[in-house]
Protein backbone atom coordinates (compact mmCIF):
# COMPACT_ATOMS: atom_id res chain seq x y z
CA UNK A 1 0.00 0.00 0.00
CA UNK A 2 1.29 3.48 -0.83
CA UNK A 3 2.41 5.67 2.07
CA UNK A 4 0.15 8.42 3.33
CA UNK A 5 1.17 12.03 3.92
CA UNK A 6 -1.33 14.07 5.93
CA UNK A 7 -1.25 17.85 6.23
CA UNK A 8 -3.49 19.50 8.83
CA UNK A 9 -3.36 22.71 10.80
CA UNK A 10 -2.69 21.00 14.11
CA UNK A 11 -0.95 17.70 14.70
CA UNK A 12 -1.28 15.71 17.89
CA UNK A 13 1.47 15.86 20.43
CA UNK A 14 2.26 12.97 22.75
CA UNK A 15 2.05 9.25 22.15
CA UNK A 16 -1.63 8.45 22.78
CA UNK A 17 -4.01 9.98 20.25
CA UNK A 18 -7.50 11.01 21.33
CA UNK A 19 -10.48 12.53 19.53
CA UNK A 20 -12.22 11.01 16.49
CA UNK A 21 -10.32 12.78 13.73
CA UNK A 22 -6.94 12.33 15.37
CA UNK A 23 -7.56 8.64 16.09
CA UNK A 24 -8.78 8.04 12.53
CA UNK A 25 -5.76 9.69 10.93
CA UNK A 26 -3.40 8.03 13.39
CA UNK A 27 -4.84 4.62 12.47
CA UNK A 28 -4.64 5.32 8.73
CA UNK A 29 -1.03 6.47 9.06
CA UNK A 30 -0.16 3.49 11.24
CA UNK A 31 -1.45 1.12 8.56
CA UNK A 32 0.32 2.66 5.58
CA UNK A 33 3.26 4.47 7.15
CA UNK A 34 4.06 8.02 6.10
CA UNK A 35 4.16 11.44 7.65
CA UNK A 36 1.82 13.87 9.43
CA UNK A 37 2.71 17.51 8.84
CA UNK A 38 1.21 20.46 10.71
CA UNK A 39 1.77 23.73 12.50
CA UNK A 40 3.75 23.78 15.71
CA UNK A 41 2.09 25.25 18.81
CA UNK A 42 4.88 27.80 19.10
CA UNK A 43 5.70 30.63 16.75
CA UNK A 44 9.30 30.99 15.59
CA UNK A 45 11.56 30.44 12.65
CA UNK A 46 11.99 26.64 12.64
CA UNK A 47 11.06 25.42 9.18
CA UNK A 48 10.02 21.96 10.37
CA UNK A 49 11.56 19.06 12.23
CA UNK A 50 10.73 15.40 11.71
CA UNK A 51 9.91 13.45 14.83
CA UNK A 52 9.78 9.66 14.85
CA UNK A 53 7.08 8.48 17.23
CA UNK A 54 8.16 5.56 19.33
CA UNK A 55 6.70 2.31 18.03
CA UNK A 56 4.86 3.93 15.10
CA UNK A 57 5.62 3.47 11.42
CA UNK A 58 5.04 7.13 10.63
CA UNK A 59 6.71 10.41 11.44
CA UNK A 60 5.37 13.79 12.45
CA UNK A 61 6.66 17.10 11.27
CA UNK A 62 5.79 20.36 12.99
CA UNK A 63 6.72 23.64 11.30
CA UNK A 64 6.65 26.96 13.08
CA UNK A 65 4.84 30.04 11.85
CA UNK A 66 6.56 33.36 12.29
CA UNK A 67 4.65 35.99 14.29
CA UNK A 68 3.85 37.75 11.03
CA UNK A 69 2.54 34.54 9.44
CA UNK A 70 0.47 33.80 12.51
CA UNK A 71 -1.25 37.17 12.18
CA UNK A 72 -1.62 37.31 8.39
CA UNK A 73 -2.17 33.65 7.53
CA UNK A 74 -3.82 32.05 10.56
CA UNK A 75 -5.69 34.82 12.39
CA UNK A 76 -6.02 36.90 9.23
CA UNK A 77 -6.96 35.20 5.98
CA UNK A 78 -7.84 31.75 7.37
CA UNK A 79 -9.88 32.81 10.39
CA UNK A 80 -11.06 36.31 9.52
CA UNK A 81 -11.90 35.69 5.87
CA UNK A 82 -12.33 32.00 4.99
CA UNK A 83 -13.94 30.92 8.27
CA UNK A 84 -16.71 33.59 8.26
CA UNK A 85 -17.10 33.26 4.49
CA UNK A 86 -17.72 29.50 4.68
CA UNK A 87 -20.09 29.98 7.64
CA UNK A 88 -22.17 32.55 5.77
CA UNK A 89 -21.04 35.47 7.92
CA UNK A 90 -19.64 37.76 5.23
CA UNK A 91 -20.47 40.66 7.55
CA UNK A 92 -17.58 39.46 9.75
CA UNK A 93 -15.04 39.10 6.92
CA UNK A 94 -11.99 41.33 7.49
CA UNK A 95 -10.26 41.69 4.14
CA UNK A 96 -6.59 42.59 3.86
CA UNK A 97 -4.47 42.13 0.74
CA UNK A 98 -1.25 41.60 2.76
CA UNK A 99 -3.03 38.79 4.69
CA UNK A 100 -4.10 37.21 1.40
CA UNK A 101 -0.48 37.34 0.21
CA UNK A 102 0.77 35.80 3.47
CA UNK A 103 -1.81 33.00 3.22
CA UNK A 104 -0.56 32.08 -0.22
CA UNK A 105 3.09 32.44 0.79
CA UNK A 106 2.63 30.07 3.77
CA UNK A 107 0.98 27.56 1.47
CA UNK A 108 3.91 27.79 -0.95
CA UNK A 109 6.33 27.29 1.94
CA UNK A 110 4.41 24.25 3.21
CA UNK A 111 4.33 22.91 -0.36
CA UNK A 112 8.15 22.96 -0.47
CA UNK A 113 8.25 21.12 2.84
CA UNK A 114 5.81 18.48 1.62
CA UNK A 115 7.61 18.12 -1.73
CA UNK A 116 10.86 17.45 0.10
CA UNK A 117 9.21 14.80 2.26
CA UNK A 118 7.28 12.68 -0.23
CA UNK A 119 8.17 9.89 -2.58
CA UNK A 120 6.42 9.67 -5.97
CA UNK A 121 4.07 6.88 -4.84
CA UNK A 122 2.80 8.64 -1.71
CA UNK A 123 -0.83 9.65 -1.40
CA UNK A 124 -1.29 13.14 0.05
CA UNK A 125 -4.31 14.09 2.16
CA UNK A 126 -4.71 17.78 2.96
CA UNK A 127 -7.17 19.04 5.57
CA UNK A 128 -9.25 22.15 5.82
CA UNK A 129 -9.43 25.79 4.88
CA UNK A 130 -5.93 26.66 6.05
CA UNK A 131 -4.47 24.82 3.06
CA UNK A 132 -6.90 25.22 0.15
CA UNK A 133 -4.15 26.44 -2.28
CA UNK A 134 -1.67 23.74 -1.23
CA UNK A 135 -2.35 21.35 -4.13
CA UNK A 136 -1.90 24.18 -6.59
CA UNK A 137 1.45 25.08 -4.95
CA UNK A 138 2.51 21.41 -5.02
CA UNK A 139 1.60 21.06 -8.71
CA UNK A 140 3.70 24.15 -9.42
CA UNK A 141 6.63 22.27 -7.89
CA UNK A 142 6.01 19.34 -10.21
CA UNK A 143 4.27 17.05 -7.75
CA UNK A 144 1.98 14.64 -9.62
CA UNK A 145 1.02 12.42 -6.67
CA UNK A 146 -2.63 11.83 -5.90
CA UNK A 147 -3.77 14.67 -3.65
CA UNK A 148 -7.02 14.63 -1.73
CA UNK A 149 -8.62 17.46 0.22
CA UNK A 150 -11.18 17.39 2.99
CA UNK A 151 -13.03 20.53 4.01
CA UNK A 152 -14.25 20.23 7.61
CA UNK A 153 -16.43 23.34 7.47
CA UNK A 154 -19.36 24.20 5.18
CA UNK A 155 -18.69 24.84 1.51
CA UNK A 156 -19.36 28.52 0.84
CA UNK A 157 -22.34 29.85 -1.07
CA UNK A 158 -21.41 30.82 -4.63
CA UNK A 159 -22.52 34.45 -4.37
CA UNK A 160 -20.46 34.93 -1.17
CA UNK A 161 -17.24 33.97 -2.97
CA UNK A 162 -17.32 37.35 -4.68
CA UNK A 163 -16.00 38.84 -1.45
CA UNK A 164 -12.58 37.22 -1.97
CA UNK A 165 -9.74 39.37 -3.35
CA UNK A 166 -9.52 37.02 -6.37
CA UNK A 167 -12.85 35.15 -6.48
CA UNK A 168 -11.83 33.02 -9.48
CA UNK A 169 -8.83 31.65 -7.58
CA UNK A 170 -10.99 29.58 -5.21
CA UNK A 171 -12.24 27.14 -7.87
CA UNK A 172 -8.80 27.02 -9.51
CA UNK A 173 -7.12 26.12 -6.20
CA UNK A 174 -9.60 23.29 -5.61
CA UNK A 175 -9.32 21.96 -9.15
CA UNK A 176 -5.72 20.92 -8.46
CA UNK A 177 -6.94 18.18 -6.11
CA UNK A 178 -7.82 14.75 -7.45
CA UNK A 179 -10.55 14.37 -4.85
CA UNK A 180 -12.45 17.07 -2.95
CA UNK A 181 -14.14 15.59 0.12
CA UNK A 182 -16.96 17.53 1.78
CA UNK A 183 -19.11 16.85 4.82
CA UNK A 184 -22.62 16.72 3.35
CA UNK A 185 -24.60 16.34 0.16
CA UNK A 186 -25.57 20.00 0.57
CA UNK A 187 -21.88 20.96 0.51
CA UNK A 188 -21.34 18.90 -2.64
CA UNK A 189 -24.27 20.68 -4.29
CA UNK A 190 -22.75 24.09 -3.45
CA UNK A 191 -19.33 23.04 -4.72
CA UNK A 192 -20.78 21.76 -8.00
CA UNK A 193 -22.76 24.97 -8.35
CA UNK A 194 -19.50 26.90 -8.13
CA UNK A 195 -17.91 24.79 -10.87
CA UNK A 196 -21.06 24.96 -12.98
CA UNK A 197 -20.89 28.75 -12.92
CA UNK A 198 -17.24 28.73 -14.00
CA UNK A 199 -16.56 28.83 -17.74
CA UNK A 200 -13.24 27.01 -17.21
CA UNK A 201 -15.02 23.92 -15.86
CA UNK A 202 -16.64 21.13 -17.82
CA UNK A 203 -18.70 18.26 -16.37
CA UNK A 204 -17.72 14.74 -17.43
CA UNK A 205 -20.20 11.89 -17.80
CA UNK A 206 -19.12 10.26 -14.52
CA UNK A 207 -19.91 13.47 -12.61
CA UNK A 208 -16.31 14.57 -12.19
CA UNK A 209 -15.14 17.97 -13.30
CA UNK A 210 -12.60 18.76 -15.97
CA UNK A 211 -11.10 22.11 -15.11
CA UNK A 212 -8.66 23.31 -17.70
CA UNK A 213 -6.37 20.28 -17.98
CA UNK A 214 -7.16 18.44 -14.76
CA UNK A 215 -9.98 16.18 -13.63
CA UNK A 216 -11.29 16.39 -10.10
CA UNK A 217 -13.98 14.42 -8.23
CA UNK A 218 -16.27 15.89 -5.56
CA UNK A 219 -17.86 13.60 -2.97
CA UNK A 220 -19.34 13.80 0.51
CA UNK A 221 -17.76 11.88 3.39
CA UNK A 222 -19.67 12.74 6.58
CA UNK A 223 -17.18 12.70 9.44
CA UNK A 224 -17.86 10.94 12.73
CA UNK A 225 -16.32 9.94 16.02
CA UNK A 226 -14.40 7.02 17.49
CA UNK A 227 -17.66 5.37 18.57
CA UNK A 228 -16.29 2.52 20.66
CA UNK A 229 -13.71 4.69 22.41
CA UNK A 230 -16.32 7.26 23.27
CA UNK A 231 -18.84 4.70 24.52
CA UNK A 232 -16.19 3.14 26.74
CA UNK A 233 -15.45 6.56 28.27
CA UNK A 234 -19.15 7.23 28.86
CA UNK A 235 -19.73 3.89 30.58
CA UNK A 236 -16.75 4.26 32.91
CA UNK A 237 -17.79 5.15 36.41
CA UNK A 238 -15.87 7.80 38.26
CA UNK A 239 -16.20 10.28 41.05
CA UNK A 240 -19.45 12.24 41.28
CA UNK A 241 -19.26 14.93 38.59
CA UNK A 242 -21.13 17.57 40.58
CA UNK A 243 -20.18 17.04 44.21
CA UNK A 244 -23.01 18.34 46.41
CA UNK A 245 -24.33 20.59 43.63
CA UNK A 246 -26.22 17.94 41.64
CA UNK A 247 -28.60 19.61 39.15
CA UNK A 248 -32.17 18.35 39.29
CA UNK A 249 -32.25 17.92 35.51
CA UNK A 250 -30.07 19.55 32.91
CA UNK A 251 -29.41 20.13 29.24
CA UNK A 252 -25.83 20.22 28.11
CA UNK A 253 -24.00 22.33 25.52
CA UNK A 254 -20.36 21.75 24.53
CA UNK A 255 -18.74 24.00 21.97
CA UNK A 256 -15.70 26.07 21.25
CA UNK A 257 -16.72 29.63 22.01
CA UNK A 258 -17.45 30.49 18.39
CA UNK A 259 -20.01 32.82 16.84
CA UNK A 260 -21.08 30.04 14.46
CA UNK A 261 -22.43 27.87 17.28
CA UNK A 262 -25.48 30.01 18.00
CA UNK A 263 -24.71 30.33 21.71
CA UNK A 264 -26.62 33.59 22.33
CA UNK A 265 -29.66 32.05 20.57
CA UNK A 266 -29.31 28.98 22.81
CA UNK A 267 -29.05 30.96 26.03
CA UNK A 268 -32.02 33.13 25.09
CA UNK A 269 -34.07 30.04 24.22
CA UNK A 270 -33.22 28.50 27.58
CA UNK A 271 -34.27 31.78 29.23
CA UNK A 272 -37.59 31.54 27.38
CA UNK A 273 -38.00 27.93 28.52
CA UNK A 274 -37.47 29.08 32.12
CA UNK A 275 -40.43 31.42 31.69
CA UNK A 276 -42.60 28.55 30.46
CA UNK A 277 -41.35 25.73 32.67
CA UNK A 278 -43.62 23.83 35.06
CA UNK A 279 -43.91 25.58 38.36
CA UNK A 280 -41.31 24.53 40.92
CA UNK A 281 -38.93 22.80 38.48
CA UNK A 282 -35.27 23.84 38.56
CA UNK A 283 -33.62 22.84 35.30
CA UNK A 284 -30.07 23.87 34.35
CA UNK A 285 -28.21 24.60 31.18
CA UNK A 286 -24.61 23.46 31.62
CA UNK A 287 -22.57 25.10 28.90
CA UNK A 288 -18.94 24.16 28.45
CA UNK A 289 -17.28 26.56 26.05
CA UNK A 290 -13.54 27.12 26.09
CA UNK A 291 -12.44 30.37 24.40
CA UNK A 292 -10.68 30.11 21.02
CA UNK A 293 -9.06 32.62 18.64
CA UNK A 294 -9.33 35.36 21.24
CA UNK A 295 -7.05 37.61 19.17
CA UNK A 296 -9.86 37.96 16.61
CA UNK A 297 -12.31 40.72 17.49
CA UNK A 298 -15.47 38.78 16.61
CA UNK A 299 -14.49 36.16 19.22
CA UNK A 300 -13.96 38.73 21.97
CA UNK A 301 -17.38 40.17 21.24
CA UNK A 302 -19.20 36.83 21.50
CA UNK A 303 -17.56 36.11 24.87
CA UNK A 304 -18.74 39.45 26.26
CA UNK A 305 -22.22 39.03 24.81
CA UNK A 306 -22.64 35.60 26.44
CA UNK A 307 -21.43 36.80 29.81
CA UNK A 308 -24.06 39.56 29.57
CA UNK A 309 -26.91 37.15 28.69
CA UNK A 310 -25.87 34.68 31.41
CA UNK A 311 -25.82 37.44 34.04
CA UNK A 312 -29.24 38.72 32.98
CA UNK A 313 -30.95 35.30 32.94
CA UNK A 314 -29.33 34.07 36.15
CA UNK A 315 -30.03 37.41 37.81
CA UNK A 316 -33.71 37.05 36.97
CA UNK A 317 -34.28 33.36 37.78
CA UNK A 318 -31.55 32.16 40.19
CA UNK A 319 -32.25 31.29 43.80
CA UNK A 320 -29.83 30.86 46.69
CA UNK A 321 -29.46 27.17 45.89
CA UNK A 322 -30.09 27.15 42.12
CA UNK A 323 -28.12 28.70 39.25
CA UNK A 324 -29.99 28.06 35.97
CA UNK A 325 -27.08 28.66 33.55
CA UNK A 326 -23.67 27.27 34.46
CA UNK A 327 -21.32 28.78 31.93
CA UNK A 328 -17.89 27.18 32.09
CA UNK A 329 -15.16 28.69 29.92
CA UNK A 330 -12.78 25.75 30.05
CA UNK A 331 -11.99 22.48 28.35
CA UNK A 332 -13.12 19.30 30.05
CA UNK A 333 -11.19 16.07 29.53
CA UNK A 334 -12.83 13.58 27.21
CA UNK A 335 -13.80 10.95 29.76
CA UNK A 336 -15.52 13.49 32.04
CA UNK A 337 -17.21 15.00 29.02
CA UNK A 338 -18.52 11.58 27.97
CA UNK A 339 -19.93 10.96 31.47
CA UNK A 340 -21.47 14.41 31.54
CA UNK A 341 -23.27 13.72 28.25
CA UNK A 342 -24.60 10.47 29.70
CA UNK A 343 -26.06 12.19 32.77
CA UNK A 344 -27.79 14.92 30.74
CA UNK A 345 -31.48 14.73 29.85
CA UNK A 346 -30.82 16.60 26.59
CA UNK A 347 -28.05 18.16 24.50
CA UNK A 348 -28.46 21.47 22.68
CA UNK A 349 -26.65 21.96 19.38
CA UNK A 350 -27.70 25.31 17.94
CA UNK A 351 -25.16 26.00 15.18
CA UNK A 352 -26.08 28.72 12.68
CA UNK A 353 -23.75 26.93 10.24
CA UNK A 354 -21.55 23.93 10.95
CA UNK A 355 -19.64 21.47 8.77
CA UNK A 356 -20.84 18.45 10.75
CA UNK A 357 -20.80 18.96 14.57
CA UNK A 358 -19.20 16.10 16.41
CA UNK A 359 -20.75 17.03 19.74
CA UNK A 360 -24.10 15.81 18.37
CA UNK A 361 -22.58 12.41 17.60
CA UNK A 362 -20.66 12.23 20.88
CA UNK A 363 -23.83 12.91 22.86
CA UNK A 364 -25.75 10.14 21.09
CA UNK A 365 -22.89 7.64 21.48
CA UNK A 366 -22.59 8.39 25.21
CA UNK A 367 -26.23 7.62 26.06
CA UNK A 368 -27.51 4.66 28.00
CA UNK A 369 -29.71 2.89 25.39
CA UNK A 370 -32.14 1.87 28.15
CA UNK A 371 -32.74 5.47 29.21
CA UNK A 372 -31.31 7.80 26.56
CA UNK A 373 -31.27 11.58 26.59
CA UNK A 374 -32.63 13.65 23.68
CA UNK A 375 -30.55 15.41 21.05
CA UNK A 376 -31.87 18.84 20.07
CA UNK A 377 -30.13 19.64 16.81
CA UNK A 378 -30.00 22.74 14.66
CA UNK A 379 -31.12 22.10 11.11
CA UNK A 380 -28.08 24.15 10.02
CA UNK A 381 -25.52 21.66 11.36
CA UNK A 382 -24.18 19.18 8.81
CA UNK A 383 -25.16 16.39 11.22
CA UNK A 384 -28.84 17.25 10.65
CA UNK A 385 -28.69 15.94 7.08
CA UNK A 386 -28.61 12.33 8.30
CA UNK A 387 -29.73 12.56 11.95
CA UNK A 388 -33.36 13.06 11.07
CA UNK A 389 -34.55 11.52 14.35
CA UNK A 390 -32.96 14.20 16.47
CA UNK A 391 -35.36 16.95 17.57
CA UNK A 392 -34.46 19.34 14.78
CA UNK A 393 -34.84 23.04 15.52
CA UNK A 394 -34.43 26.42 13.90
CA UNK A 395 -31.83 28.23 16.05
CA UNK A 396 -33.17 31.60 14.91
CA UNK A 397 -36.55 30.74 16.44
CA UNK A 398 -36.47 31.09 20.24
CA UNK A 399 -39.98 29.73 20.71
CA UNK A 400 -39.19 26.64 18.62
CA UNK A 401 -36.11 25.88 20.73
CA UNK A 402 -37.86 26.54 24.04
CA UNK A 403 -40.63 24.15 22.95
CA UNK A 404 -38.01 21.53 22.00
CA UNK A 405 -36.39 21.76 25.46
CA UNK A 406 -39.80 21.31 27.03
CA UNK A 407 -40.57 18.34 24.79
CA UNK A 408 -37.16 16.75 25.49
CA UNK A 409 -37.76 16.91 29.27
CA UNK A 410 -41.22 15.38 28.89
CA UNK A 411 -40.55 12.84 26.12
CA UNK A 412 -41.81 9.32 26.92
CA UNK A 413 -39.17 6.61 27.26
CA UNK A 414 -40.29 4.64 24.16
CA UNK A 415 -39.95 7.70 21.94
CA UNK A 416 -36.54 8.55 23.38
CA UNK A 417 -35.40 4.98 22.73
CA UNK A 418 -36.73 4.95 19.16
CA UNK A 419 -35.04 8.23 18.30
CA UNK A 420 -31.82 7.12 19.96
CA UNK A 421 -31.66 3.82 18.03
CA UNK A 422 -32.03 5.68 14.72
CA UNK A 423 -29.51 8.40 15.60
CA UNK A 424 -27.08 5.77 16.87
CA UNK A 425 -27.35 3.98 13.56
CA UNK A 426 -26.11 7.16 11.82
CA UNK A 427 -23.31 7.57 14.37
CA UNK A 428 -22.10 4.01 13.72
CA UNK A 429 -22.33 4.35 9.94
CA UNK A 430 -20.10 7.44 10.04
CA UNK A 431 -17.53 6.14 12.53
CA UNK A 432 -14.25 8.04 12.09
CA UNK A 433 -12.33 4.91 11.07
CA UNK A 434 -14.84 4.22 8.28
CA UNK A 435 -14.69 7.86 7.25
CA UNK A 436 -10.93 7.85 6.65
CA UNK A 437 -11.05 4.38 5.09
CA UNK A 438 -13.73 5.44 2.60
CA UNK A 439 -11.98 8.67 1.69
CA UNK A 440 -8.62 6.99 1.12
CA UNK A 441 -10.16 4.11 -0.86
CA UNK A 442 -11.72 6.59 -3.30
CA UNK A 443 -8.55 8.69 -3.50
CA UNK A 444 -6.34 5.65 -4.13
CA UNK A 445 -8.68 4.43 -6.87
CA UNK A 446 -8.33 7.63 -8.89
CA UNK A 447 -5.85 7.35 -11.77
CA UNK A 448 -2.75 9.52 -11.43
CA UNK A 449 -2.85 12.50 -13.76
CA UNK A 450 0.43 13.46 -15.34
CA UNK A 451 1.00 16.58 -17.44
CA UNK A 452 1.76 16.03 -21.11
CA UNK A 453 5.31 17.32 -21.21
CA UNK A 454 6.46 14.48 -18.99
CA UNK A 455 7.72 11.83 -21.29
CA UNK A 456 6.88 9.88 -24.35
CA UNK A 457 3.34 8.70 -23.52
CA UNK A 458 1.23 11.38 -25.11
CA UNK A 459 -2.11 11.98 -26.63
CA UNK A 460 -3.03 15.19 -28.35
CA UNK A 461 -3.73 18.08 -26.02
CA UNK A 462 -4.44 18.06 -22.30
CA UNK A 463 -3.17 15.49 -19.88
CA UNK A 464 -2.58 11.79 -19.91
CA UNK A 465 -4.73 10.15 -17.30
CA UNK A 466 -3.33 6.80 -16.34
CA UNK A 467 -1.45 4.97 -13.69
CA UNK A 468 2.00 6.19 -12.81
CA UNK A 469 3.35 2.69 -13.53
CA UNK A 470 2.83 3.39 -17.24
CA UNK A 471 5.50 6.03 -17.06
CA UNK A 472 8.20 3.64 -16.01
CA UNK A 473 10.58 4.04 -13.16
CA UNK A 474 11.28 7.18 -11.23
CA UNK A 475 14.69 7.62 -12.83
CA UNK A 476 13.02 7.85 -16.26
CA UNK A 477 10.98 10.94 -15.36
CA UNK A 478 11.73 13.91 -17.53
CA UNK A 479 10.73 17.51 -17.78
CA UNK A 480 10.46 20.28 -15.24
CA UNK A 481 6.85 19.49 -14.37
CA UNK A 482 7.58 16.19 -12.65
CA UNK A 483 10.86 16.62 -10.84
CA UNK A 484 10.91 13.65 -8.46
CA UNK A 485 10.63 15.34 -5.10
CA UNK A 486 13.53 14.94 -2.72
CA UNK A 487 12.98 12.76 0.30
P1 LIG B 1 -15.43 22.25 15.59
O2 LIG B 1 -15.98 23.54 15.09
O3 LIG B 1 -14.40 22.36 16.61
O4 LIG B 1 -14.92 21.32 14.41
P5 LIG B 1 -17.17 20.00 16.53
O6 LIG B 1 -17.42 19.14 15.36
O7 LIG B 1 -18.35 20.08 17.43
O8 LIG B 1 -16.76 21.49 16.17
O9 LIG B 1 -15.96 19.40 17.33
C10 LIG B 1 -15.58 19.90 18.55
C11 LIG B 1 -14.77 18.86 19.30
O12 LIG B 1 -14.13 19.51 20.38
C13 LIG B 1 -15.66 17.77 19.87
O14 LIG B 1 -14.97 16.55 19.84
C15 LIG B 1 -15.87 18.22 21.32
O16 LIG B 1 -16.03 17.17 22.25
C17 LIG B 1 -14.57 18.95 21.60
N18 LIG B 1 -14.83 20.03 22.56
C19 LIG B 1 -15.53 21.15 22.35
N20 LIG B 1 -15.59 21.87 23.49
C21 LIG B 1 -14.93 21.18 24.41
C22 LIG B 1 -14.65 21.36 25.81
N23 LIG B 1 -15.05 22.43 26.47
N24 LIG B 1 -13.91 20.44 26.43
C25 LIG B 1 -13.50 19.34 25.79
N26 LIG B 1 -13.74 19.10 24.50
C27 LIG B 1 -14.45 19.99 23.82
C28 LIG B 1 -14.78 21.48 12.98
C29 LIG B 1 -16.04 21.87 12.23
C30 LIG B 1 -17.14 20.88 12.54
C31 LIG B 1 -16.70 19.47 12.19
C32 LIG B 1 -15.35 19.16 12.83
C33 LIG B 1 -14.79 17.84 12.34
O34 LIG B 1 -16.44 23.18 12.57
O35 LIG B 1 -18.32 21.20 11.82
O36 LIG B 1 -17.65 18.54 12.67
O37 LIG B 1 -14.40 20.17 12.51
O38 LIG B 1 -14.75 17.77 10.96
In a domain, 300, yes or no: yes
Residue 52 resides in a domain: yes
pLDDT tens digit sequence for 103-159: 999 999 999 999 999 999 999 999 999 999 999 999 999 999 999 999 999 999 999
* Shortest-distance Cα residue to atom 20 of ligand 1: 255
| 152 CA: nearest ligand 1 atom | 38
Q: Give the ligand 1 atom nearest the CA of 223.
A: 38
The pLDDT of residue 461: 40
CA of 246 from ligand 1 middle (Å) equals: 26
Identify whether residues 175 and 262 lie together within a single domain.
Answer: no
**How far is residue 61's CA from residue 5's CA, in Å, rounded to a whole number?**
10
**121 and 266 housed in the same domain:** no
328 in a structural domain = yes
Determine, yes or no, domain membership for 476. no
Q: Are residues 317 and 339 in the same domain?
A: yes
Look at residue 483 and tell me if it is in a domain. Answer: no
Catalytic residue among 160, 258, 354, 386: 354
Encode pLDDT of 192-225 as tens digits. 999 999 999 999 999 999 998 899 999 999 999 9
Pocket residues for ligand 1 (CB within 6 Å)? 19, 21, 152-153, 223, 254-256, 288, 290, 331-332, 337, 354-359, 362, 382
Q: Tell the residue nearest (CA) to atom 24 of ligand 1.
A: 331
Residues 147 and 247 in one domain: no
- For residues 190 and 83, state if they share a domain: yes
- Give me ligand 1 centre to Cα 357, in Å: 6
| Dihedral of alpha carbons 340, 344, 348, 354, sign | positive
Which pLDDT does position 238 carry in this prediction? 73
The total of structural domains in the chain comes to 2
Note the pLDDT of residue 59. 92
In whole angstroms, what is the distance from residue 31 CA to residue 176 CA? Answer: 26
Asked if residue 250 and residue 182 are part of one domain, the reply reads: no
26, 87, 130, 152: the catalytic one is 152
Residue 304 in any domain: the answer is yes
Strand partners, 291: 257
Domain identity same for 233 and 205: no
Residue 484 lies in a domain: no
Q: Are residues 249 and 190 in the same domain?
A: no
195 and 260, same domain (yes or no): no
Give the mutation target among 254, 289, 382, 427 for probing the ligand 1 site: most ligand atoms within 8 A of CB. 254
For ligand 1, pick from 25, 354, 357, 358 the residue to mutate: most ligand atoms within 8 Å of CB: 358
* Structural domain for 236, as ranges: 229-429
Indicate whether 30 and 167 sit together in one domain: yes
Which CATH number is 124's domain given? 3.40.50.2000
pTM of the model: 0.92
Question: Could you give the maximum distance between any two Cα atoms of the chain, in Å?
Answer: 83
Q: How far is the CA of 199 from the centre of ligand 1 (A)?
A: 37
465 domain residue, yes or no: no
Same domain, 266 and 118: no
**Which ligand 1 atom lies nearest to the CA of residue 258?**
2
Distance of CA 272 to the CA centre of its chain: 31
Asked if 354 is an active-site residue, the reply is yes
In the chain, which residues have pLDDT < 50?
Answer: 454-487
Helices (H), 236-369: 263-276, 297-317, 334-343, 358-366
Atom of ligand 1 nearest to the CA of 183: 38
Asked if residue 148 and residue 43 are part of one domain, the reply reads yes
Amino acid sequence: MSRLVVVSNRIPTGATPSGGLVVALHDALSQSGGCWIGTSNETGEKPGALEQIAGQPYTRMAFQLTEEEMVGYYLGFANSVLWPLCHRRVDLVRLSLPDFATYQAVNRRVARLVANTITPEDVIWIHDYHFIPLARALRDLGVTNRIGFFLHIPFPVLSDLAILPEPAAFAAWLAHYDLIGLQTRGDVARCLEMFRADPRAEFLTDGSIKFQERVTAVRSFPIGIDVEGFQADAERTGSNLFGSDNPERFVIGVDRLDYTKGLPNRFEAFGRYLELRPEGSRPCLIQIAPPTRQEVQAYQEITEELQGITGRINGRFAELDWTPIRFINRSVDRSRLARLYRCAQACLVTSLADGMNLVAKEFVAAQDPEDPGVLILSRFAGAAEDMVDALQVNPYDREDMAAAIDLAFRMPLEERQRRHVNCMDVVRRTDSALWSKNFLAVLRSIPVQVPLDVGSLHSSGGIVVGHRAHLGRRSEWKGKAVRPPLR
